[in-house]
Amino acid sequence: MARQRPIDPRVAAARVVHQVAFKGRSLDPPFAAPTKVQGHPDANASTLARDARLSTELAYGSVRHYFSLRNLVDQVLDEPYAGLDSLVSSLLIVGAYQLRHTRIPSYAAVNETVAATRSLRKPWARKLVNTVLRRLSGIAIRADDEEARFDHPTWLIEAVRRDYPGSWEAILDANNSRAPQSLRVNCQHQSRQAYQATLKAAGLDAVPGMVPESLLLASPVPVHRLPCFAEGAVSVQDEGAQLAAGLLAAQPGHRLLDACAAPGGKTFHLLETRPDVEVLAIDANPERVAAMQKECRRLGFDPSFVQTGDATGLDWWDGRSFDRILLDAPCSGSGTLRRHPDIKLLKNATDLAAFQAIQRKLTATVWQTLAPGGILLYCTCSILNDENDAVLEHFLREHRDAQPVALDDVSWGTATRYGRQLVPSKGGPDGFYYALVARRKARRKARRAARTP
């Protein structure tokens, strides 16, 4: 019986790229990393960990730079890229990524990618892959291919250029960089300074971030390397997302709704800093609710406040008003392309209208549950005006009892007409939009004193 071998990282990466580019599947949840094949003595833990890191690097990097890599491959092919076997073309993208964006020696990148054709059951492509990858040396991206120049789809390039005429190229460039790993220290366990010292003792360097509970790691690490992670002392969360808790300015005894809660980081942050509030967190997806409840247990919270509920309707509501509402609305995710590069392949311009429709519906629905004098925090991880100020403009026009609250006392991001916008920057937070809206209290009608004749 022939001895089986562990899955090759290039094979795993090519299959992932194929699923994203040709099958419309997301990189999330994380794809399956190479696993140990039973009975193979060489598949030890260190080898598997190394191969998992490499397959992740190759898959995410190939998707991040898909447009430019496809341009390069297409130039040296003897036949059009579109007519090539889709799995083989995905392997070529992975090979090109190694040659253009990694320190893997060229001979190793070519030889191992060629060898991967056998595991992919495409032995006929061996010569093709070898020829294409060896031809890539010295090839430049065609200047007339804007998608390849910026590694973004045309619709997104145009949208960012329209909304940010003075900085669109810098934003696109930042989108193609790697996001830093930022941590949220659970202040119920220890201070940020104390946990920074704990990291230092574990050989991990970090610096304070712009949020009082945030730390930025010098180099990303798996969560199992973070001291006391299993005990809930720390969480991984982008700095931009950590701004929500402070903006809500919840007070003791306040009742708060997180209307689209999963994965729950913003609510957990609030509870870590303001444990004396009452929270109801709902999400329409039962699987995401279950995952959030599991995270509750890690952080030491009773998961009963996390429930399944669709905020486009009010079936979940018990009629008690909320003092604060957090609406982290579903969106294009255009501010998170560094972490989710597959968005560039999976979303298109027509999706924006659908997202805007659901954003409008959610905002109008949850507004009904807000108490007079209460505050709604509307936020997205989008940098596009259509999902941000445009949604607020429509909402304010339709609701006379809504009053925008200026965010004049914050120094991050850029002021917009109704809120504040963060855009991705190299080494900085993801792109986020935040806007506060207060519900006016009903005016009491002046009573005229009855006059006696």
For the segment 312-347, what is each residue's pLDDT rounded down to a tens digit?
Answer: 999 999 999 999 999 999 999 999 999 999 999 999
> Cα–Cα distance between 281 and 289 in angstroms, integer?
9
- 2 pLDDT tier (thresholds 50, 70, 90): very low
Q: Are strands 234-236 and 214-217 parallel, antiparallel or unpaired?
A: unpaired
How far does Cα 448 stand from its chain's mean position?
57
Here the tokens at position 218 are 């010098």
> Cα–Cα distance between 312 and 317 in angstroms, integer?
11
Looking at residue 7, its pLDDT comes to 78
- For residues 39 and 396, the model is more confident at 396
> Cα–Cα distance between 326 and 433 in angstroms, integer?
13
Which 3 state secondary structure label does DSSP give 376?
strand
Residues 6+ apart with CB under 8 A from 357: none
> Cα–Cα distance between 200 and 184 in angstroms, integer?
16
- For residues 438 and 81, the model is more confident at 438
Q: Are strands 278-283 and 255-258 parallel, antiparallel or unpaired?
A: parallel
Complete DSSP assignment for 150-194: HTS-HHHHHHHHHH-TTTHHHHHHHHTSPPP-EEEE-TTT--HHH
Looking at residue 380, its pLDDT comes to 98
Assess contact for 272 and 186: CB atoms under 8 A.
yes
Check pLDDT > 60 for residue 30. no
Here the tokens at position 304 are 């009963």
Percentage above 70 pLDDT, the chain:
93
Looking at residue 38, its pLDDT comes to 39
Check pLDDT > 60 for residue 448. no
> Cα–Cα distance between 428 and 180 in angstroms, integer?
7
Residue entry with tokens 């071998």: 5
> Cα–Cα distance between 282 and 316 in angstroms, integer?
8
- For residues 450 and 21, the model is more confident at 21
Check pLDDT > 90 for residue 203. yes
- 250 pLDDT tier (thresholds 50, 70, 90): very high
Assess contact for 6 and 42: CB atoms under 8 A.
yes
DSSP state of 285: -
How far does Cα 42 stand from its chain's mean position?
36
Domains of the chain: 9-150 (1.10.940.10), 182-236 (3.30.70.1170), 243-439 (3.40.50.150)
Looking at residue 241, its pLDDT comes to 98
DSSP state of 75: H
Looking at residue 41, its pLDDT comes to 47
What average pLDDT does the structure give for the chain?
Answer: 92
> Cα–Cα distance between 228 and 202 in angstroms, integer?
11
| Mean pLDDT, residues 194-207 | 98
Looking at residue 442, its pLDDT comes to 76
Per-residue pLDDT reduced to its tens digit, 264-297: 999 999 999 999 999 999 999 999 999 999 999 9
Enter the pTM of the model: 0.91
- For residues 31 and 69, the model is more confident at 69
Per-residue pLDDT reduced to its tens digit, 370-392: 999 999 999 999 999 999 999 99
Q: Which amino acids are annotated catalytic?
A: 381
Q: Are strands 206-208 and 214-217 parallel, antiparallel or unpaired?
A: antiparallel
Q: What are phi and psi of 198, to 5 degrees?
A: -65, -40
Task: Give the other-Cβ count within 10 Å of 339's Cβ.
Answer: 17
Which 3 state secondary structure label does DSSP give 361?
helix
Torsion sign (Cα): 266, 343, 434, 391? negative
